[in-house]
Chain A
Amino acid sequence: MAQIVLDQLNAKFTGGEILESGTTHGDEWARIRRDAWIAAATFLRDDPATKMEMFIDLTCVDRLGIRGGKPDAPRFDVVVHLYSVSHKHRVRLYCGANEDDAWVDTLCNVWAGANWYEREAYDLYGVRFKGHPDLRRILMYPEFVGHPLRKDYPKEKRQPLVRRQAGSRE
């Protein structure tokens, strides 16, 4: 579908920045080394052959205990979906981050739309986005402790802000 995107990436970044790339079910994907994350995104946006003007989605995957069959793979994957309005092609980018050093550079300065998605990923997975202008929780409340979509958060553990008092008349 959009092999040209991967070809352009692999031709531009020859120093091992593209860790892996491939096609699954007709969709192209590439795994980017963390230090080339912004460079790769900017290149894909600006290169006339790729022209990924449109930021579709940013989310995160917690591979706790799975790691895609590779025990030394990073625990978290930040996943970005991009679309080119001009060329009508898509690509999916991955960037890994480990638990003890869970951060990725922000894409806010490449696509402004990434702002709230990165806040969501930070809120629910606890991956920090370096350089983000306003990295606060967006769905959960500030008093919430922990990151609920991490696989090691007990999914039914509620953190109530307010409850009726026991023994009250109402």
Chain B
Amino acid sequence: MGALDWVTTKLTDATNWARKFSLFQYPFVTACCGMEFMSVAAPKYDIARFGAEFPRFSPRQADLLIIVGTITERQGPALRRIYDQMCEPKWVVAFGVCASTGGFYQNYSTMPGADQVVPVDVYIPGCPPRPEQVLDGLILLQERIQRNEGHNQVAIAVEAAERKGIDVPLARIRAIGQKAETP
């Protein structure tokens, strides 16, 4: 292993396995998608089956930011501040087309996707998305967490490497993450 022991070890695998089944979400609900979000969270679709049932209403206690609904340019600084306040490692899900791309809004006031201000890990399309789509998105996120591929996880890995004086391209980190997934 030598210089590469910073990235994927058995310990990283184990912590990522624990993290993906213990997501503490912060719902940033701005629009009608909130109704569908409630549906996912309620017993019928039951997001608790995936270990992500517990919404925290302080970003400091959350590690998954779910952006539910349209983001306006005016909300941009608030969204960025909430993301900055969350503890690392953290992930972001864009819930619905408005949070993903701006949706059908194409005007002076609406941000064309929340990824203009925060790094988004999983985009869930739909206007609003069905609960099944949301659960599928959550499973995709869990796979991404296990592979250590979340934007923030990669940033942490690069930072750790730099502390050790190793210069590693992002592509290499991603490739190693994928390798770790295969048995």
Residues of A within 8 A of B (CB): 139-141, 148, 153-164, 169-170
Question: Closest chain A residue to B119 by CB distance?
Answer: A170
Question: Closest chain A residue to B152 by CB distance?
Answer: A170
- Asked if B80 is an interface residue, CB under 8 A from chain A, the answer is yes
Are A164 and B76 neighbours in the complex by a CB distance under 8 Å?
A: no
Q: What are the 3 closest A-B residue pairs judged by CB atoms, nearest first?
A: A170-B119, A169-B155, A162-B76
Q: Which of B73, B116, B158 contacts A169 (CB 8 A)?
A: B158
The docked-state distance in angstroms from the alpha carbon of A154 to that of B108 is 8
Are A170 and B76 neighbours in the complex by a CB distance under 8 Å?
A: no
Q: Mostly helix, strand, loop or mixed at chain A's interface?
A: loop
Known: A140-B74, A169-B154, A169-B158. A162 touches B117 (CB 8 A): yes
**In the complex, chain A residues whose CB is within 8 Å of the CB of B180:** none
The docked-state distance in angstroms from the alpha carbon of A148 to that of B117 is 23
- Asked if B130 is an interface residue, CB under 8 A from chain A, the answer is no
- Asked if B109 is an interface residue, CB under 8 A from chain A, the answer is yes
Closest Cβ of chain B: how far from A146's Cβ, in Å? 9
The docked-state distance in angstroms from the alpha carbon of A150 to that of B74 is 19
The docked-state distance in angstroms from the alpha carbon of A157 to that of B118 is 21
The docked-state distance in angstroms from the alpha carbon of A164 to that of B111 is 12
**Chain B window 139-167, contacts with chain A (Cβ cutoff 8 Å), 1 for yes, 0 for no:** 00000000000011011001000000000
Closest Cβ of chain A: how far from B90's Cβ, in Å? 10
- Asked if B107 is an interface residue, CB under 8 A from chain A, the answer is yes
Q: How large is the interface on B (under 10, 10 to 19, 20 to 34, 35 or more residues)?
A: 20 to 34
Known: A158-B108, A163-B117, A170-B119. A141 touches B74 (CB 8 A): yes
The docked-state distance in angstroms from the alpha carbon of A162 to that of B170 is 25
- Asked if B182 is an interface residue, CB under 8 A from chain A, the answer is no
Most chain B CB atoms below 10 A, which of A139, A160, A161, A163: A161
Are B74 and A161 neighbours in the complex by a CB distance under 8 Å?
A: yes
Are A148 and B158 neighbours in the complex by a CB distance under 8 Å?
A: no
Closest Cβ of chain B: how far from A122's Cβ, in Å? 16
Are A155 and B76 neighbours in the complex by a CB distance under 8 Å?
A: no
Are B107 and A161 neighbours in the complex by a CB distance under 8 Å?
A: no
Question: Which chain B residues numbered 107 to 136 have a C-beta less than 8 Å away from chain A?
Answer: 107-109, 111-112, 115-119
Are A161 and B77 neighbours in the complex by a CB distance under 8 Å?
A: yes
**In the complex, chain A residues whose CB is within 8 Å of the CB of B109:** 139-140, 148, 158
The docked-state distance in angstroms from the alpha carbon of A154 to that of B106 is 11
**In the complex, chain A residues whose CB is within 8 Å of the CB of B117:** 162-164
Are B107 and A160 neighbours in the complex by a CB distance under 8 Å?
A: no
Are A164 and B108 neighbours in the complex by a CB distance under 8 Å?
A: no
Q: Which of B73, B80, B115 contacts A159 (CB 8 A)?
A: B73
**In the complex, chain A residues whose CB is within 8 Å of the CB of B106:** 156
Q: Which of B119, B152, B158 contacts A164 (CB 8 A)?
A: B119
Closest Cβ of chain A: how far from B4's Cβ, in Å? 19
Closest Cβ of chain A: how far from B144's Cβ, in Å? 14
Closest Cβ of chain A: how far from B181's Cβ, in Å? 22
